[in-house]
């Protein structure tokens, strides 16, 4: 048999993240953009075409006035010139003259409002690959590529720069993060539990455990075999955004029909909020559908061709458990 085990846990971490992107070689596309996010919710935006920083949430629009947005606009205009020049410098270092090239910087901080623990981060990339990393514990820059050694050496020998960065990540960034979380507390502290589906195209196809519609984004999907962690032939997909601001993620396992029959497999989805077990799911829907023998439940899941649309060994009726197991082809 296989059943779904949904285990949800609480977490109080908030994050502030900025992403700067400079692009060359593409016409009719902004040379530079910057995005600010709190807990993965975008709250500000700037690009070199509009030359203006704008709020992206109502709570930010109501909380900061013209002076704030003027400062953000000036920061964006200055950063545009800096990163436009940086692309040219890196093209020379990589011996490139044509083509599309990008410089991207992601930096910010995290704060756990339960433990008080803080953390900062900064990563610089070129053409999609790591170029520079800031080690905040050692307070030094590290480059994984030869073309970044010169910059790492220059910045590591600028003590004033390093002290300014340390102060920003340890103090300034955290203060702004706490302020933004307070601004958007009604929106940012919302918790939406995932809707979880077990999906299978045919009895010999891989089985996918799909979680969607959850917020915040931290989620773990794993598999257990006979109550033991199982990692063999498991592929975990990327975290993807939904249009409504929630997220989705999936994990797929490949096992033979014989394995499914002779073992108990569990999909474990970890998120914030509550705890739900397979037994509780069965109890919650029994009043709607009545208690069906297991072989009757499995028969009800067959389609007109005699195969199963949802996971064929899931021990619940598809009609009774349509909120949990969706009839869907991958």
Q: Give the pLDDT confidence of 4-18 residue by residue, as tens digits.
A: 444 444 456 899 999
Residue 317 pLDDT > 60, yes or no?
Answer: no
Q: What is the pTM of this model?
A: 0.67
Q: Under a CB-based contact definition with an 8 Å cutoff, are residues 21 and 33 in contact? A: yes
- What whole-number distance in Å separates Cα of residue 268 and Cα of residue 221? 6
**Percent of the chain at pLDDT exceeding 90:** 58
Task: Using the predicted structure, report yes or no on whether residue 292 has a pLDDT greater than 60.
Answer: no
Residues in the chain: 330
Per-residue confidence (pLDDT) for residue 11, from 0 to 100: 52
Please report, for the chain, how many H helices and E strands are present, in that order. 9, 18
Query: Is the bond into 161 cis (omega within 30 degrees of 0)?
Result: no
Q: Which of 138-152, 188-202, 223-237, 238-252 has the lowest mean pLDDT?
A: 188-202
- Report the relative pairing of strands 265-271 and 2-8 from DSSP bridges: parallel
**The residue to which tokens 């709250």 are assigned:** 43
Q: Is the pLDDT of residue 261 over 50?
A: yes
- In percent, the amount of the chain with pLDDT more than 70 equals 78
pLDDT of residue 13: 84
Return the higher-pLDDT residue of 328 and 273.
273
> What are the backbone angles phi and psi of residue 40, rounded to the nearest 5°?
70, 5
On the 0-12 / 13-18 / 19+ scale of CB atoms within 10 A, 8 is: middle
Task: Report strand pairing: 275-276 vs 228-230.
Answer: unpaired
What is the number of other CB atoms lying within 10 angstroms of the CB of residue 186? 8
Asked whether 308 and 200 are in contact (CB, 8 A), the reply is: yes
Domains, the chain: 13-188 (3.30.500.10), 191-300 (2.60.40.10)
What are the tokens at 154?
A: 């220059």
CB under 8 A, 24+ apart: contacts of 147-156: 147/90, 147/93, 147/94, 148/124, 150/93
As given in the structure block, the two tokens for residue 174 are: 């955290």
Q: What is the pLDDT of residue 153?
A: 97
Tens-digit pLDDT profile for residues 36-63 = 999 988 999 999 999 999 999 999 999 9
Between residues 77 and 194, the one the model is more confident about: 77
Q: Of 119-123, 186-190, 216-220, where does the model show the most confidence? A: 119-123
Are the beta carbons of 43 and 27 closer than 8 angstroms?
no
- Average pLDDT (75-96) is 96
């Amino acid at each position: 048999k296989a059943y779904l085990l949904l285990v949800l846990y609480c977490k109080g971490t908030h994050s502030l993240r900025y992403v700067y992107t400079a692009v060359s070689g593409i016409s009719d596309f902004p040379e530079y953009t910057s995005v600010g996010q709190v807990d993965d919710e975008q709250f500000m935006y700037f690009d070199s075409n509009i030359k203006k920083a704008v709020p992206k949430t109502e709570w930010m629009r109501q909380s900061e006035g013209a002076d704030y947005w003027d400062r953000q606009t000036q920061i964006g205009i200055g950063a545009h010139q800096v990163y436009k020049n940086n692309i040219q410098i890196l093209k020379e270092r990589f011996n490139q003259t044509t083509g599309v090239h990008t410089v991207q910087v992601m930096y910010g901080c995290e704060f756990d409002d339960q433990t008080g623990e803080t953390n900062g981060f900064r990563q610089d990339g070129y053409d999609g690959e790591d170029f520079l990393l800031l080690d905040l514990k050692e307070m030094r820059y590290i480059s994984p590529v030869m073309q970044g050694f010169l910059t790492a050496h220059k910045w590591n020998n600028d003590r004033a720069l390093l002290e300014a960065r340390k102060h920003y990540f340890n103090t300034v960034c955290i203060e702004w993060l706490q302020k933004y979380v307070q601004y958007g507390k009604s929106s940012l502290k919302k918790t939406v539990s995932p809707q979880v589906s077990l999906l299978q195209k045919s009895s010999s196809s891989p089985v996918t455990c799909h979680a969607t519609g959850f917020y915040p984004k931290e989620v773990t999907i794993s598999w257990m075999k006979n109550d033991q962690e199982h990692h063999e032939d498991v592929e975990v997909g990327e975290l993807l955004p939904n249009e409504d601001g929630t997220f989705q993620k999936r994990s797929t396992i490949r096992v033979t029909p014989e394995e499914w029959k002779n073992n108990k497999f569990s999909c474990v989805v970890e998120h914030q909020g509550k705890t739900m077990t397979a037994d509780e799911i069965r109890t919650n829907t029994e009043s709607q559908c009545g208690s069906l023998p297991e072989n009757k439940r499995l028969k009800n899941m067959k389609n007109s061709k005699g195969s199963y649309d949802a996971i064929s060994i899931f021990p619940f009726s598809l009609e009774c458990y349509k909120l949990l197991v969706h009839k869907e082809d991958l």
